[in-house]
Amino acid sequence: MNHKIKRILKITLPLLLGVFLVWYSLSKVSVEELLVYAKNANYTWIILGMFLGLLSHLSRAYRWRFQLEPMGYNIRLGNSIMAVFATYLINYTIPRAGEVARASILANYEDVPFEKGFGTIVAERIADMIVMLGIIAITLFLQFEFIYGFLIEKFNPTKIIIALIIGVLLLFFFSRYIKRSHSKIALKVRGFVNGLIEGALSIFKMKKKWAFIFHTLFIWGMYVLMFYVTSFSIEELHGISMGAILIGFISASFSIAATNGGIGSYPLAIYAAFSIFGIPEEPSIAFGWIMWASQTLMIIVFGGISLIYLPIYNRIKSK
């Protein structure tokens, strides 16, 4: 398969999957039903959720400067903010293209070499992934009895134990293979793991490491809080447990990688998570669409303004 075909597939497959998932979610809950939920929703909570999402993006832009300062680049906060919003908007068109655009914006307007700017973006993604793993670990700890009970109810306990043993053995033999093999796949996996470790350790070497850690925790705290407060906009979700919120949040977060910006996959991921707790599909999918639409609207507005205003802002600053 040549490079051109791979590039086309990378763009078209997520879009096609997104279209299919939109159709599938609308087959579960009709547009008319969604409009009723949207009409009856409490927009005070939706707007508060959007505000918390905005705070997380601003914090991300501010945090980025801590990574660039040790390399001698003191970038303008305005450029950092607009580059972050442009990233999210562009990712709705071509997956992961936003990260490339973000480093390019820095190269164009702040004279930061592309590879250095892109390297900081990779490092911050590693930090984000570590926090995400922490959220998953906390959720598993807090909801262990519930998750264990659910698995026992749905699956044969003997099969679960056998699956765990097989999984551990496969992981053990795979790790040994990766350590000893010189194949392309092994080298790539080894390089990726080493990069994760190096990226995580580099955080503790920067001057403002504690400020960086604070903003990282703040960003993800805002993400979870944004998800939680927006759930109050749907009357049927009042009194929802924190366990359902955390598992719904984790499921929704992973869904964003499946399609462009989580279109179609986001509400279905929330429905799948909430169904474990016996929450009906109509309010679950409606909440997913409201959550996705409100955050997408914010990205479209601020991302669009950023792309338009970036050259104007820098022309004014250069004068």
Q: What is the pLDDT of residue 180?
A: 77
pLDDT, one tens digit per residue, over 297-311 is 999 999 999 999 998
Mind giving me the DSSP string for 15-58? HHHHHHHHHHHHHHS-HHHHHHHHHHS-HHHHHHHHHHHHHHHH
Q: What is the token pair recorded at 146?
A: 């519930």
Q: What is the pLDDT of residue 113?
A: 85
Q: What is the token pair recorded at 14?
A: 């997520």
Which stretches of the chain score pLDDT less than 50? Answer: none
Distance in angstroms between the alpha carbons of the first and the last residue of the chain = 49
Residue 287 Ramachandran class (φ > 0 left, ψ -120 to 50 alpha, else beta):
alpha
Which letter does DSSP use for residue 182 in this model? -
Q: Is residue 241 within 8 Å of 230, Cβ to Cβ? A: no
Please choose, from the candidates 188, 76, 67, 66, the residue with its C-alpha nearest in 3D space to the C-alpha of residue 119.
Answer: 67
Burial label for 218, CB within 10 Å (0-12, 13-18, 19+), is: middle
204 Cβ partners below 8 Å, 6+ apart? none
Instruction: Measure the CA–CA gap between 45 and 233, rounded to whole angstroms.
Output: 5
Whole-prediction pTM: 0.81
| Residue 161 identity | I
